[in-house]
Amino acid sequence: MTMAGEDEILEWIAGRQKTSKVVKVAAGDDLAVLEWPEGERLVLVGADQVLDGVHFRCSEISDWSVIGRKAMNRNLSDCAAMACMPVAAVVTVALPKGATVEQVKALYEGLEAAGAKYYCPVVGGDTGVWAGPLAVTVAIMGRATGSKPVLRSGALSGDGIYVTGPLGGSILGRHLTFEPRVHEGRLLAASRLPTAMMDVSDGLLKDLGRMLKASGGLGAVIEADKVPVHADAVRLAGQDGVDALRHALSDGEDHELLFTSTARPPVGIRIGKVTAGGGVILKYEDGREEPAAASGWEHRLG
């Protein structure tokens, strides 16, 4: 690092990483050491990054805790989508040369606060300064704890299709402030009802297409009037002239859970039904049907 206050910030970060019942060794060694509960053998793991100009714009964000929260919450949302309990995260940060100690602390506090809400401490990682823009990677670990991970490949023909909340227009700000559906994921796992589950990160139709493909090439009928349209989608429609429903179907970064279930689940809004094939059909209230074109979100900021 070449940043002013480098040693201060690295010590500050290390000082915040503490041991706990699960975390046997935190900051300051080559790796962190976690102890899994007795009898639990599944370790879920993934990593996701947020990049300046793609997932946020540094130039428009004065408080970097927002960036830290988004980075952590995207990973917590992956835990939610697998119906697992977050356990711990490791974080790498590539800092632009002009970053201030205050910005770095805010970033880290954002990561930490988002994780703490779901008992997911940051236990290690790496921070460095470079000539590039801000990049933050979070790798997260979770445990299954009493229920099997819910994959995206288990949907069955005839299952209902559900989402946990309204969709669309996240670009107006919600993409930075969404709440990962960790509790909903655990509740659903406890009910043992979901046959397939994932989070909506690239748009409902695009992600549904992936789920149906992973489940062996199934189809779906989506009832257009049942799709919960977020107020942001309506607001965005007023700005860009695109139909609010289209925003709900195609916008990314909602991070609601999308799942299928044979019986009525404890949470979720039913939006349609899995079919044996025939692609994804949009069905309107007046009986009209049309194939749903999946134009998903792709790094809209970029």
> Does residue 79 belong to the site contacting its own copies (CB under 8 A)?
yes
| Nearest Cα to Cα of residue 200 among 151, 164, 156 | 164
Q: Which stretch, 20-28, 163-171, 223-231, 287-295, contacts its own copies (CB under 8 A)?
A: 20-28
Which of 5, 12, 49, 246 is the binder for its own copies (CB under 8 A)? Answer: 49
Beta carbon of residue 249, minimum distance to its own copies (angstroms, whole number): 21
Which of 9, 13, 34, 200 is the binder for its own copies (CB under 8 A)? Answer: 34
> Does residue 59 belong to the site contacting its own copies (CB under 8 A)?
no
Query: In terms of C-beta density within 10 A (0-12 exposed, 13-18 middle, 19 or more buried), how is residue 146 classed?
Result: exposed
> Does residue 61 belong to the site contacting its own copies (CB under 8 A)?
no
Token representation of residue 166 = 């309204």
CA distance 96 to 123: 23
> Does residue 124 belong to the site contacting its own copies (CB under 8 A)?
yes
Binding-residue pattern over the window 204 to 223 for its own copies, x denoting contact by CB under 8 A: ----------x---------
Which of 153, 157, 191, 262 is the binder for its own copies (CB under 8 A)? Answer: 153
Of the pair 33, 231, the CB lying nearest its own copies is at 33
The C-alpha angle with vertex 160 and arms to 171 and 162, in degrees rounded to 5, equals 25
CA distance 39 to 20: 19
Q: In what order do the strands lie in the sheet with 160-163?
A: 194-199, 257-261, 160-163, 269-275, 219-223, 280-283, 289-291
Which of 12, 117, 145, 149 is the binder for its own copies (CB under 8 A)? Answer: 149
Tokens 């919960």 belong to residue: 228
One DSSP character per residue, 121-154 reads: -EEEEEEEEESS--EEEEEEEEE-TTS----SS-
> Does residue 43 belong to the site contacting its own copies (CB under 8 A)?
yes
Beta carbon of residue 233, minimum distance to its own copies (angstroms, whole number): 24
Beta carbon of residue 96, minimum distance to its own copies (angstroms, whole number): 9
Which of 10, 19, 101, 133 is the binder for its own copies (CB under 8 A)? Answer: 133
**Cross-strand pairs, 270:** 162
> Does residue 60 belong to the site contacting its own copies (CB under 8 A)?
no
What 8-state DSSP symbol labels residue 293?
P
> Does residue 123 belong to the site contacting its own copies (CB under 8 A)?
yes
CA distance 280 to 219: 5
CA distance 97 to 2: 8
Of the pair 149, 279, the CB lying nearest its own copies is at 149
Which of 58, 61, 139, 281 is the binder for its own copies (CB under 8 A)? Answer: 139
CA distance 275 to 220: 5
Residues that bind its own copies (CB under 8 A): 1-2, 24-25, 28-38, 41-49, 51-54, 78-79, 81-82, 84, 88, 90-92, 94, 123-126, 128-133, 135, 137, 139-142, 149, 151-153, 198-199, 214, 298-299, 302
